Amino acid sequence: MLKGAPEDQMKAVDLQTGAPSEGDTRIFAPPKGLFYALLCVLVVYAMVRGIAAAAAKPFWYDEMMTLTVGSQGSWKGIVAAQRQALDSNPPLFYLIENYASKIAGNQEIALRLPSILAFPCTLVCVFVFLRKSAGEMIALLCAGFLLSTELFQYYAVEARPYSMVVACIAFALVCYQRVPSKVWTVLFAVALALAQCLHYYAFLAIAPFGLAELVYSFRAKKIRWSVWAAMAFGCLPLGLFWPLLSALKSYYGAHNWMRVFGVRGAQQVYGEIMRTGWRTGEAIVAVLFVVLAAEWLRKAREEEADGEKRERELVQIVALGGFLLLPFLGFALTHITNSGLVPRYVLCTLLGIAAALGLLLQRAGRLGLILALVVVGFVGLAEVRFWKTWETNLAAVKAYGSARERFIEQKGYGDLPIIVPNGLVVVALAHYADAPFVSRLLFMKQDPEPENPRFTDTIDRELELYQRYAPLKVSTFNEFAGAHNSFLLYLEREHDGEALLDRLSREGWTTRVLESKGYVRLYLVSRGERAAPAAASTSLR
């Protein structure tokens, strides 16, 4: 309850219940129905905004892999592509994407629809989880907090499994709040297994529940075997898909792009997923962890008639603390397995942050309400900026391929092959450009650098597989140079092609800039007699 106002002044609304303080009849207490109505508005807005954002965002490299594997059409075809190590998620994810691709004609929307729909499910689950202990007002504020995070701003409109995994784990939290009820325990098992069927690293999000159960067993002096069985069931798909995971490890393991997740990387995750500076994110989580610890001590000292209820509440606090520590769990995993991890694999950390934020708002009083309103203000400003730029971004998607074609073709070298050494660029260009233009595109693989510990050939090796499924040619420089004396080199990002340009200079090739706009550059590369241009065309808009 908010405190600090003089007794002869109007009392503030209780943040936990949404009602005025005891004895105060001068404040209008918002009916609980209002918060449910606002939740519905939030859910509808998230879906509408998600669809709009999806339409105004071109596919990027990872999403093109989703499209390619999902387009194999059947479970058998999807598994066959994955046995070759094309892309890195369990088969069920691609099957869902295959069905989603048939829902709408606009593929940018259709493929992202599962992620778009998953985010409102996460909102509802966070609200339901917090409503029980913090009341409707705080539950709504904490659910709304997720709109300011990377989960909503990016991953809720991406044709990848991350938003769906978070939704599954959010539902698992709601179920865990209600165990050992048989129905909720079964649903808990299903939610965990479904998450594991969508992404291999989803098993990390099972660890906080395991930690909570260990604490429960120690304090209550009994083991809830049904809950442990549910968690074991949740891990089962990892064993079933282990041959596919082993194929990935074998094919990409030597020079994988993912690096071992260090302690500093774990700390920086918080800022990235909350879209703050890493120091700010680290400070926020440190405060929330203190809040959880204080709530644990307060609950542990309470004497309640229902001791079992108190123990369930205590282990829920432990589970939330486990979610806050997921990045560090990832750090431990990468060192044990010598594997890699990236922040999006531990997005479920946001569930712990949102729930711990609810406890903070309960205890912070007026200051907590002010902080919540500040977050709401930032979300509002971000959404205003989104809608102001939406039409421009939508037009850019529609012109993605044609604009780049015009930029490259304007100097008239229409008979020359086009080298694009950045795999992230060439895959999207090959998808959005016209077929005759795509037939001239070629991705140039790097020369091996066995002495360079930071060398990675993950994209090179994946595109070797990808060319079997898409109209994109892949070659080494030596193979290509043996058959061509001139070509166009297209670069789109700041450090694109630096190694290739150095090699061309060393080996006596002539490079001439034909067009440049910022980091976007077009070179004519020739050996011997310089190629002559054909008729020029229009420039990039």
Tell me the mean pLDDT in the region 157-182.
96
Q: Does pLDDT of 540 surpass 70?
A: no
- Band (305; pLDDT cuts 50, 70, 90): low
Q: Does pLDDT of 426 surpass 50?
A: yes
Q: pLDDT tens digits for 19-28? A: 444 444 333 4
Nearest alpha carbon to residue 418 among 531, 507, 334: 531
Could you tell me which residue, 538 or 270, shows the higher pLDDT? 270
Report the pLDDT value the prediction gives residue 263, as an integer from 0 to 100: 64
Report the pLDDT value the prediction gives residue 277, as an integer from 0 to 100: 85
Tell me the mean pLDDT in the region 201-223.
94
Nearest alpha carbon to residue 112 among 148, 150, 168, 154: 154
- As a whole number of Å, the end-to-end CA separation of the chain is 58
- Band (335; pLDDT cuts 50, 70, 90): confident
Report the pLDDT value the prediction gives residue 530, as an integer from 0 to 100: 58
Report the pLDDT value the prediction gives residue 252, as an integer from 0 to 100: 85
Q: Which of 11-15, 239-243, 273-277 has the lowest mean pLDDT?
A: 11-15
Report the pLDDT value the prediction gives residue 223, as an integer from 0 to 100: 93
Q: Which of 100-114, 205-219, 330-344, 348-362 has the lowest mean pLDDT?
A: 330-344
Cα separation, 11 vs 170, whole angstroms: 35
Q: Does pLDDT of 204 surpass 70?
A: yes
Report the pLDDT value the prediction gives residue 268, as an integer from 0 to 100: 86
Strand, coil or helix: 3: coil
Q: Does pLDDT of 306 surpass 80?
A: no
Q: Does pLDDT of 339 surpass 90?
A: no
Could you tell me which residue, 433 or 529, shows the higher pLDDT? 433
Average pLDDT value for the chain: 88
Tell me the mean pLDDT in the region 42-64.
97
Q: Does pLDDT of 261 surpass 70?
A: no
Report the pLDDT value the prediction gives residue 529, as an integer from 0 to 100: 61
Q: pLDDT tens digits for 116-155? A: 999 999 999 999 999 988 889 999 999 999 999 999 999 9
When mean pLDDT is compared over 290-299, 344-353, 442-451, 454-463, the highest value belongs to 344-353
Strand, coil or helix: 486: strand
DSSP states of 403-452? HHHHHHHTT--TTS-EE---HHHHHHHHHHS-HHHHTTEEEEPPPP-TT-
Report the pLDDT value the prediction gives residue 81, as an integer from 0 to 100: 94
User: Residues near 374 by Cβ (< 8 Å), separated by ≥ 6?
Assistant: none
Report the pLDDT value the prediction gives residue 304, as an integer from 0 to 100: 64
Report the pLDDT value the prediction gives residue 537, as an integer from 0 to 100: 39
CA distances from 510 to 136, 156, 197, 442, 481 (A): 68, 46, 51, 19, 13
Tell me the mean pLDDT in the region 381-401.
95
Could you tell me which residue, 132 or 369, shows the higher pLDDT? 132
Report the pLDDT value the prediction gives residue 451, as an integer from 0 to 100: 75
Q: What is the pTM of this model?
A: 0.90
Contact 18, 30 (CB under 8 A): yes
CA dihedral 356, 223, 305, 310 (to 10 degrees): 0
Report the pLDDT value the prediction gives residue 376, as an integer from 0 to 100: 84
Contact 446, 460 (CB under 8 A): yes
Q: Does pLDDT of 413 surpass 50?
A: yes
**Percent of the chain having pLDDT more than 90?**
67
Residue 290: φ, ψ to 5°: -65, -40
Cα separation, 332 vs 141, whole angstroms: 33
Q: pLDDT tens digits for 443-467? A: 999 888 767 777 888 899 999 999 9
Q: List the structure tokens of 179.
A: 């165990």
| 227: Cα separation from own chain's centroid | 28
Tell me the mean pLDDT in the region 85-92.
94
Q: List the structure tokens of 7.
A: 């007794």
**Residue burial 3-25, b: 16+ Cβ < 10 Å; e: rest:** eeeeeeeebbbbbbbbbbbeeee
- Band (1; pLDDT cuts 50, 70, 90): very low
Q: Which of 197-201, 204-208, 448-452 has the lowest mean pLDDT?
A: 448-452
Q: Does pLDDT of 531 surpass 70?
A: no
